[in-house]
């Protein structure tokens, strides 16, 4: 009895609790696309219990007479898949506590994200540098030199900034300046 033909496989198991860790795992060089499995908090030991523990100290910190989280909100929190980590749950409960008008914290549906977290767009260092310089140039109205110029904001000598702009293909004419 048993199987006479065996199939060898290579398996990489990545356990991640935060969006950043998930994005890094997805960007890693694996032979095939990773399969994502979302495991919700188990009932009775997950989001509902954690939400209660998060809400208790909030009453004191916010100076509100909060007695806890409503049953409906507890059910909502327990049913949510929590693609992030415990900080995401903490942020949702804190925002709901700030908005609370009565003794029970109600978690509105709009506080729970309805989409999967997106992996960050990966850019080359050159692209990031170009985007940053363009952003600073826009903020300074295209001024390069002087105390409020882009070079001063970036901590560069004006000639160094001009050199980088040329290397990155950034044209000053876009901003209508002559400095």
Q: Identify which of 121, 50, 35 has the alpha carbon closest to the alpha carbon of residue 82.
A: 50
pLDDT at 63: 85
Query: Which sign does the torsion angle of CA 147, 152, 156, 162 carry?
Result: negative
**Contact predicate 73/96, CB 8 Å:** yes
Q: What is the pLDDT of residues 22-48, one digit of tens each?
A: 667 666 666 666 666 666 555 554 666
Q: What are phi and psi of 104, to 5 degrees?
A: -105, 135
In percent, how much of the chain has pLDDT > 90?
9
Q: What is the pLDDT of residues 50-64, one digit of tens each?
A: 777 777 788 888 888
Q: What is the pLDDT of residues 107-148, one digit of tens each?
A: 888 887 654 555 556 778 888 898 889 888 888 888 899 888
Number of H helices, E strands in the chain: 7, 2
For residue 178, CA distances in Å to 139, 141, 142, 145, 148 come to 16, 11, 9, 10, 15
Distance, in Å, from the CA atom of 25 to the CA atom of 46, rounded to the nearest integer, reads: 24
pLDDT at 11: 65
pTM value? 0.40
Q: Identify which of 53, 44, 39 has the alpha carbon closest to the alpha carbon of residue 94.
A: 53
Q: Which numeric CATH code is attached to 47-111? A: 1.10.8.60
**Contact predicate 88/116, CB 8 Å:** no
Q: How confident is the model at residue 167 (pLDDT cuts 50, 70, 90)?
A: very high
């Amino acid at each position: 009895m048993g199987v006479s033909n065996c199939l060898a496989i290579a398996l990489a198991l990545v356990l991640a609790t935060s969006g950043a860790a998930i994005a890094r795992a997805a960007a890693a060089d694996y032979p095939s696309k990773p399969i994502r499995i979302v495991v919700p908090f188990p009932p009775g030991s997950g989001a509902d219990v954690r939400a209660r523990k998060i809400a208790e100290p909030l009453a004191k910190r916010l100076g509100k007479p909060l007695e806890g989280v409503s049953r409906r909100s507890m059910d909502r929190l327990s049913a949510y898949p929590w693609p992030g980590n415990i900080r995401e749950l903490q942020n949702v409960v804190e925002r709901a506590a700030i908005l609370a008008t009565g003794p029970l914290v109600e978690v509105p549906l709009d506080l729970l994200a309805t989409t999967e977290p997106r992996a960050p767009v990966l850019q080359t260092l050159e692209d990031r540098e170009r985007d940053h310089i363009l952003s600073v140039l826009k903020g300074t109205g295209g001024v390069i030199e002087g105390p409020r110029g882009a070079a001063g904001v970036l901590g560069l000598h004006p000639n160094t900034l001009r050199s980088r702009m040329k290397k990155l293909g950034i044209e000053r004419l876009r901003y209508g300046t002559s400095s």
